[in-house]
Amino acid sequence: MNTQADVALAARIEETVRAVPGVVTVYRPGSLAARAVAAGAAALAGLADPSSLVHVERTAQGLRVEAALGVHEPESAVSAMRDASAAVLALLSAPERAVAEVVLTVVHVETRLGSAGESASGAGLLAPEMN
């Protein structure tokens, strides 16, 4: 991302994706190592907005958008991805804007256990006889 317009576009894309039913949160895409290298290179070049969770890149073929999502378990990850992709493509649809690729990846599925709102990362994961 290297222009104010790209920073604003990334923010609009993030807002659009967060509004999709079933999407819990948005994460920075890529592995930890890849994000560290990209952040360092972008900082040296003065190109990146460190607060952006959506990566927007202008290529010869058009815009390339990448984001990582967390979704609710009750909402199908496939359904949330399909709806998020459609929402991003609708946002980006403009005659003057070619879209080369939209890459969305589910990196976290939030699971709720029981009525008390226990999450899969919390207590109560083992069967009663194993606790």
The pTM of the full predicted model, rounded to 2 decimals, is 0.70
pLDDT in tens, 64-87: 999 999 998 766 788 999 999 999
Residue found by looking up tokens 């083992």 in the block? 126
Contact partners, residue 115, CB within 8 Å, separation at least 6:
none
pLDDT at res. 13:
94
How would you class 88 by CB atoms within 10 Å of its CB: exposed for 0-12, middle for 13-18, buried for 19 or more?
buried
pLDDT in tens, 10-28: 999 999 999 999 999 999 8
Q: Confirm if 66 and 103 have CB atoms less than 8 A apart.
A: yes
Contact partners, residue 126, CB within 8 Å, separation at least 6:
none
User: What's the mean pLDDT in 45-62?
Assistant: 75
